[in-house]
Structure 1
Amino acid sequence: MEGYEDVSPLPLDTGFKDELCQIMYTDEYRMVVGTARALMERREYSERAKELTGRVIDLAPAYYTAWNYRFDILMHLARGNVELLNQELEWIDEVTLNNPKNYQIWSYKEAVLKNHPSPSFKRELPILQLMLDEDTKNYHVWSFRKWCVLFFGDFSHELGYTESLLERDVYNNSAWTHRMFVLKNTSPSHDHVLEEIEYVKGKIELVPQNISVWTYLRGLYENFLNANYDDEIIQFTSTFTHGVEEEDETDVNVEIESSCALEFIAHVYALRGGAMTRKAINAYKGLATKYDPIRKNLWELKISRVTKS
């Protein structure tokens, strides 16, 4: 292989006679990976070794050993060299676009940023937006974005960004989850939480049967308001359940607007206990028999717990 004539590629086969299933490597793969393994064995941390790891990663993006070797090479070559580290970040971006769900990429990028003398969150935002525009629920990208926010200590972009995503798709659970992550890490004021509740109520009115929004609403009360559900939120919720929770027997003719709302109000009444226990049981019975019977066992379990409390 040109540029590596002095290197004898290591074999990739195990050499076991009774091997159950031998992997059919291409000649190119054997040559490239075998040469890279030989360089690893001799611990060569050179520019040509780094270039070769790029070829290995191009052939096998999930080959974590190649990623580890490349990082060791980079640390030996860079030694705080900002230009070289920036070039590496640009290379990572190119690889990322072709492998959006490869978690090794994001772990590698985190390691590079940690060793960069002047990392920039602003630099990362365009590639993150591009990746999430292509797949708004890409778990790996969201995880990396959370890491960046904590690493750089910059939450200023996040609420506005999630709002833009929720305008496009109010069902985007990843955006709702990220929004809660931001609030948990920024200690919002009481007034801010109340404003957030109003924001959520508006989204619920758009699509009442959206479990993501109801879960987020519950998170606001339980994370920031000590689970003190006020009468106003109960009244708001009941507009979607049409009073089913008030009746001991579920009226089969009543069509509610949201089983998520009925689950929410059942939880609230169960927390209140006392005279409200009956309403919680009624709501759970309604879910079990008519409005969400596919999870009948769950609702019956909750009824038994409420009854015992």
Structure 2
Amino acid sequence: MTIDESLRSAAGQELIGRVADAFAIDEQSARSAVYALGDELAARIQRTMLSRGGVADVVSLVTAPGASRALSDSDGLSSPEMIANGDQILDVLIGNKHVSRKIAARAASRSGIDAATAQKMLPVVATLLIGELQKQSGPAIAKVASLIPAFSGAGGSPLPMPGDTFPPARRDVNSTPDDQPPIGAPGRPADIPRGPIDAGNPLPIPGDNIPGVGRRNRYPGPASEPEDNPYSRLPDIVRRGGEQVPGPDGGSLENVIRSILGNLLGSNSGVVGTMIKLFLIRWIASIVRRVLSQVLVRR
């Protein structure tokens, strides 16, 4: 099921009804606004995924713990937490408040609501869209991650779905805290082995801080619970490139994930096809609109 089909389903219509209540607008206006904003954001996601770094950024969004929780939150659609969450998503996908205002203005003109309301709805719709993407892409991403050699090492246990809470790792019975005396020192027998050494996160590579090309994970899980996201390394693996997914439907990790998300967004034309759709078609459409407006003015 694509994201558009999901929004038009019974569950999607119920969700839109909650959006209407949250922003005190009628359901028809809310439906038109959600469709318009959803289309704009889906296009931004596809545009972001034109680069490998952009695919990594989107992966960081759809694998964040609890991203799909907003779909079942009946009371918090306009809460400060929801707005802050959506602003983080918009920062990754757009990164420019002026562009966000233009998106809201276009959606307002298409739906009939005022631009100020559309602007307030934008982060909420962004959160709901990413939540639906997480819900729909979870099984496929979990399967892909399980096939990647660079992602192995979780003890052979099945990976949870993206967004699920990762249970805290059990301490090895033979490991000991680092604050104990060294081996052979008084108070610690020499035959007790030390635990494994954690080398920490890999060093960043050049370009990691370039927007849209190599940003590190800008949408992490809760800072106080870094182990809750078993997929925290996946964006970095995508960003570095070189990983191949085996199997008849495999290929480069970047392209496989782009295909998974592209199918859900209703477009899987590859990089070149997406560029044509996003840039050439929109450019032609803008020319047609200008010509029509000039004809109407002359009349």
Query: TM-score per shorter chain, which class?
Result: under 0.3
Rg bigger for which structure? 1
TM (norm. structure 1) is: 0.19
TM (norm. structure 2) is: 0.20
If each structure's helix is expressed as a fraction of its own residues, which one has the higher value? Answer: 1
